[in-house]
Amino acid sequence: MLQESLKKLVEYGVKKGLTPECERIYTTNLLLDVMDEDEFTDPECDLENIDLEEVLGDLLDEAVKKGLIEDSIVYRDLFDTKLMNCLLPRPAEVQRNFFEKYAVSPEEATNYFYELSRNSNYIRSARVAKDKRWTVETDYGTLDITINLSKPEKDPKAIAAAKNAKQSAYPKCQLCVENEGYRGRVNHPARENHRIIPITVNGGKWGFQYSPYVYYNEHCIVFNGQHTPMKIERATFQKLFDFVKQFPHYFLGSNADLPIVGGSILSHDHFQGGHYTFAMEKADFIEKFTVSGYEDVTAGIVKWPLSVIRLQCKDEKRIIDLADHILKVWRGYTDEEAFVFAETDGEPHNTITPIARKRGEFYELDLALRNNITTEEHPLGVYHPHEKLHHIKKENIGLIEVMGLAVLPSRLKGELEELADAIVNHKDIRSMESIAKHADWVDEFMAHYEDVNASNVEEVLQQEVGKVFCQVLEDAGVYKCTEEGLEAFRRFIAAL
């Protein structure tokens, strides 16, 4: 079985264009070394329809039997990454191929790199396919809902090992360039099968890669070559558009630079983009306005649960100028009546989540106004999911959610299945510890349905989860989509 699996893995590499035919023997020998084998018997076996997940699973089982690794998902992930790296071209070859294809078209280059990232198992497609995905129609358009199952849950043994592991500052974080080829450890993912494309952004050295969790099509990450903190400033807008000019088929956005309203990694300057149209991009203007001195830039309030200003112009430099002006005004803007405070006790609260794209001949920039103020009533944030919704979503609302895609915790898969059974069989949800937190929510929405049964309960739950996510986004909006909220929004615009 071991010899067959080795042969199949090499064949997979050749067929997927990862391994040149002339390197078949060399690659086989690399794999023998990793598996601590002295010889290759070249067995007869079926080389059609090779299932990578199955082949890697067999090799990992063999590694466990041989005592090469412990039988834990963390150690298995570290080891199968080492196996896959044996098939891959070195970074210089990947970069050369990318830029040769870029000379034909940016899209051809990204197609190549995305396929490489999938075929190399850096993007674990088999796990990503297990994510639960659906859509829900709202007043703001079609929102995307996902329950993320692609990040593996660590087992207790691995958690204990990570706790006791020597603390290392290398790489400084999971976005640093030093991750390329890094073997990983129990408290840092293996990246031996990871490749980075070096690009220049606004005159600086940056890296281009894909997210291993691909929450949407061609979900890419563009990161600073230096480990430097996130900061929203004029240069941010310049960087976003510099990238979009190089890859006009991709959008690029940034998380905000303050806690609560920022992303999960504020310590390393980075952006996220890709080849996907989110609901926010499809949303139209509620009303347009003109800013004095920028009459050539189309500006308006977008019909969206968060407070979004959209700027459009054929000249991206004019958008950058106006965006910088809006950012500076917003940073120092206070409207007590609307509960907007630029700072309290010296702590700044106002920032922006920006998203840049090209639409036909026009460049476009969406500016989502953010504020991270907290109160006794809302200790996690006034413009953050309120406590009533925490049974579904408690985490920060970052860039991806801002655009209309819910990334919900993996716990919900089991909880929704349990809820479905409880609803259909009329069980007492409040007495069930694992799902009691959902009881008030279920009571609330069940009143709107005449009949919820085994054939429709999953659809009902999915739609109701989608409605909760819509409320989450509304909570994150500084100015609500009401006449009172719009009036307060207009007061800010009048200050521009």
Tokens standing for 103?
């000379």
Q: In angstroms, rounded to a whole number, what is the distance separating the alpha carbons of residues 110 and 103? A: 12
Q: Which amino acid is at 462?
A: Q
Q: For residue 249, which of 217, 284, 224, 225 has the smallest C-alpha distance?
A: 217
Q: What is the pLDDT of residue 150?
A: 77
Q: In angstroms, rounded to a whole number, what is the distance separating the alpha carbons of residues 454 and 442? A: 16
Q: In terms of C-beta distances under 8 Å and separation of at least 24 residues, what long-range contacts does 370-375 make, across chains too?
A: 370/256, 370/258, 370/261, 370/476, 370/478, 371/261, 371/340, 371/341, 371/478, 372/258, 372/259, 372/260, 372/261, 373/339, 373/341, 373/344, 373/349, 374/260
Tokens standing for 131?
């994510």
- Classify burial at 451, counting beta carbons within 10 Å of its beta carbon; exposed 0-12, middle 13-18, buried 19 or more: exposed
**Where are any strands of DSSP class E within 452-492?**
none
Tokens standing for 478?
């500084």
CB 202 within 8 A of CB 238: yes
Q: What is the chain's pLDDT, residue by residue, as a tens digit (496 residues)?
A: 899 999 999 999 999 999 999 999 999 999 999 999 999 999 999 899 999 999 999 999 999 999 999 999 999 999 999 999 999 999 999 999 999 999 999 999 999 999 999 999 999 999 999 999 999 999 999 999 999 887 665 555 554 554 555 667 899 999 999 999 999 998 899 999 999 999 999 999 999 999 998 999 999 999 999 999 999 999 999 999 999 999 999 999 999 999 889 777 889 999 999 999 999 999 999 999 999 999 999 999 999 999 999 999 999 999 999 999 999 999 999 999 999 999 999 999 999 999 999 999 999 999 999 999 999 999 999 999 999 999 999 988 999 999 999 999 899 999 999 999 999 999 999 999 999 999 999 999 999 999 999 999 999 999 999 999 999 999 999 999 999 999 999 999 999 9
Q: In angstroms, rounded to a whole number, what is the distance separating the alpha carbons of residues 476 and 479? A: 9
- CA dist 136 → 144, 399, 443 (Å): 7, 19, 20
- Tell me the HSE value of 417 on the side-chain side, using a 13 A CA sphere: 6
385 DSSP assignment: -
**Which pTM value belongs to this model?**
0.93
